């Protein structure tokens, strides 16, 4: 049995691992990706030419982490259970779908988030991706999705993606931000107390300005068109609630369209651990986006605190100095969390996007479920995500609602006038990742510490 397993090698997970290791805990990080970093600090692919650094890469403070903790890369966690003083994680190798088991006296869950993608006509055309996909392809693989790229959606994530694509050699056609100029001015004002974030934002804006990339606030990509792949995008002005204004539509030629409306925490492992007793078991700690989307800085602060809390739970007492550091960290976290809350409010999508959809626009990309089917189910009285899923198959495909679930939740809320909380989500997943039945059927061996795992 391991002492502490950290699920997720992104900013929160790395900070948790580093903090716990500093306090003398034996730490194991498990992550589905091949290298540490998560999405934010994504490292270039294994085997990439040395000397050419991607936009972020691993910060210097984590450069020794791989030597200090055990890193199990390429393992996904499909199930988590707690019993007594032990948490057991069921793993599946991402490259060959082999099962394995990992048990620990304490666990930090830092699984991060997925992107919120709101459907529009043509969003299922090849060449239309999330902003994160374009980012990951560029950072991890040095690869562009297209030459003429349109970046759209809402939120602070659009700027780094657009800037990276521009620096990587793409022609960024425009950055289409749904929030109106007035709200963006408010966001800018709130950055005053956060010089680091402000400098970062100005850097991105400078990159875009130097390349004459237009920023279009109060607008949205409301449709994409093309034969077998995206060739044109339709940009429309939208009001505060995301309803498209009449007229003023522009058709722009593109090779690729990258959209993002923010992030949704990945809750399936948390739910698996909470559901049996209705509370998080002792010895399980949460950090990062899973506690509420706040970005990398908030995630790292939370991770460091979660790592320290896990260490304390395991009986590693912090020194006075470390206690002082933790108090300081809590203050920093509160400060960063205030900005995160401002950003969440400013960029929360309204429900008007359902007005962009045609009846036949697919909401569920796996099972080909059109918007009309959802609207019909809601009109008949199905007002929870689970109920609508049951009669439409929206969210029943390969991704199990990871992509359409949040959109479904928002669409039902928008159509029925209900609160999204009442509508519920589709994140209760007893199987967090698909794996072969042959791998489920056996009780797999515990991964031996120190042994080569790949």
- β-partners of residue 364 are 369
Residues 235-254, interacting with another protein (CB under 8 A):
none
Contact status: 382 vs another protein (CB under 8 A): yes
Q: Enumerate residues 335-364 that contact another protein by CB under 8 A.
A: 354-355, 357-359
Size of the site for another protein (CB under 8 A): 108
For 115-137, the DSSP string reads E-----TTTTSTTEEEHHHHHHH
Q: Does 225 bind another protein (CB under 8 A)?
A: no
**Is residue 133 at the binding interface for another protein, with CB under 8 A as the rule?**
yes
C-beta of residue 115 within 8 angstroms of C-beta of residue 131: yes
Q: What is the DSSP letter of 23?
A: T
Contact between 445 and another protein by CB under 8 A: the answer reads: no
Contact status: 420 vs another protein (CB under 8 A): no
Q: CB 118 → another protein: shortest distance, Å?
A: 13
Residue-level length of the chain: 454
Q: Please, which residues bridge with residue 80 across strands? A: 89
- 3-state SS class at 35: coil
Q: Examine residue 430 and tell whether it contacts another protein (CB under 8 A).
A: yes
Sign of the Cα torsion 81, 84, 85, 86 reads: negative
**Min dist. Cβ of residue 166 to another protein (A):** 8
Closest Cα partner for 334 from 298, 296, 291, 292? 298
Handedness of CA 240, 246, 252, 257 (dihedral sign): positive
164 binds another protein (CB under 8 A): yes
Binders of another protein among residues 43 to 102 (CB under 8 A) are: 44-49, 52-55, 79, 81, 90, 94-95, 97
Q: Is 115 in the site for another protein (CB under 8 A)?
A: yes
Contact track, another protein, 175-194, x by CB under 8 A: --------------------
Q: Please, what is the minimum distance in Å from the beta carbon of residue 412 to another protein?
A: 9
* Upper half-sphere CA count for residue 314 (Cβ side, 13 Å): 26
Exposure string over 229-252, b if 16+ CB within 10 A, otherwise e: ebeebbbbbbeeebbbeeeeeeee
Whichever of 144 and 280 has its CB closer to another protein, that residue is: 144
Residues 304-333 that bind another protein (CB under 8 A): none
326 closest CA partner among 305, 349, 353, 355: 305
Q: Does residue 210 interact with another protein by CB under 8 A?
A: no
Q: For residue 20, what are its two tokens?
A: 């716990």
- The span of 65-73, 303-311, 323-331, 414-422 binding another protein (CB under 8 A) equals 414-422
**Residue 421 found at the interface with another protein (CB under 8 A):** no
Please identify, among the stretches 102-110, 296-304, 340-348, 399-407, the one whose residues bind another protein according to the rule CB under 8 A.
399-407
Q: Contact between 446 and another protein (CB under 8 A)?
A: no
CA atoms within 13 A on the CB side of 419: 2
The minimum distance between CB 23 and another protein, in angstroms, equals 31
Binding status of residue 297 toward another protein by CB under 8 A: no
Residues with Cβ < 8 Å from 445, sequence gap 6 or more? 100, 101
Please, what is the minimum distance in Å from the beta carbon of residue 206 to another protein? Answer: 14
């Amino acid at each position: 049995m391991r002492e502490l397993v950290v699920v997720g090698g992104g900013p929160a997970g790395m900070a948790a691992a580093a903090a716990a290791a500093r306090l003398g805990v034996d730490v194991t990080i498990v992550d589905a990706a091949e290298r540490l970093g998560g999405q934010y600090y994504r490292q270039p692919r294994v085997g990439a030419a040395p000397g050419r650094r991607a936009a972020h890469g691993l910060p210097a403070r984590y450069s020794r982490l791989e030597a200090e903790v055990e890193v199990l890369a390429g393992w996904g966690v499909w199930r988590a259970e707690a019993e007594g003083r032990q948490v057991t994680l069921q793993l599946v190798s991402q490259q060959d779908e082999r099962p394995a088991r990992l048990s620990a006296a304490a666990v930090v869950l830092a699984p991060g988030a997925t992107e919120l993608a709101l459907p529009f006509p043509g969003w299922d055309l090849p060449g239309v991706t999330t902003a994160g996909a374009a980012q990951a392809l560029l950072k991890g693989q040095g690869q562009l999705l297209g030459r003429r790229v349109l970046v759209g959606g809402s939120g602070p994530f659009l700027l780094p993606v657009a800037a990276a694509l521009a620096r990587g050699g793409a022609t960024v056609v425009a950055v289409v931000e749904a929030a109106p100029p007035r709200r963006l001015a408010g966001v800018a004002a709130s950055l005053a107390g956060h010089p680091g974030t402000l400098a970062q934002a100005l850097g991105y804006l400078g990159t875009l300005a130097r390349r004459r990339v237009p920023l279009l606030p109060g607008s949205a990509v409301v449709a994409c068109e093309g034969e077998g792949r995206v060739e044109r995008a339709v940009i429309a002005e939208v009001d505060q609630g995301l309803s498209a204004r009449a007229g003023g539509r522009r058709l722009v030629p593109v090779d690729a369209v990258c959209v993002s409306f923010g992030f949704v925490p990945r809750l399936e492992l948390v739910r698996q651990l909470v559901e049996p007793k209705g509370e998080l078991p002792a010895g399980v700690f949460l950090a990062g986006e899973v506690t509420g989307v706040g970005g990398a800085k908030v995630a790292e602060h939370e991770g460091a605190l979660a790592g320290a809390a896990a260490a304390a739970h395991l009986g590693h007492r912090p020194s006075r100095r470390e206690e002082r550091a933790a108090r300081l960290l809590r203050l920093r976290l509160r400060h960063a969390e205030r900005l995160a809350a401002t950003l969440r409010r400013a960029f929360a999508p309204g429900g008007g996007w359902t007005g962009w959809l045609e009846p036949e626009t697919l909401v569920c990309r796996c099972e080909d479920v059109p918007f009309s089917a959802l609207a019909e189910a809601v009109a008949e009285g199905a007002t929870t995500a689970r109920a609508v899923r049951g009669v439409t198959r929206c969210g029943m495909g390969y991704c199990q609602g990871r992509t359409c679930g949040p959109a479904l939740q928002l669409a039902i809320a928008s159509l029925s006038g209900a609160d999204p909380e009442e509508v519920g989500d589709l994140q209760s997943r007893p199987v967090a990742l698909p794996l072969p039945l042959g791998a489920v059927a056996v009780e797999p061996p515990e991964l031996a510490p120190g042994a080569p795992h790949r």
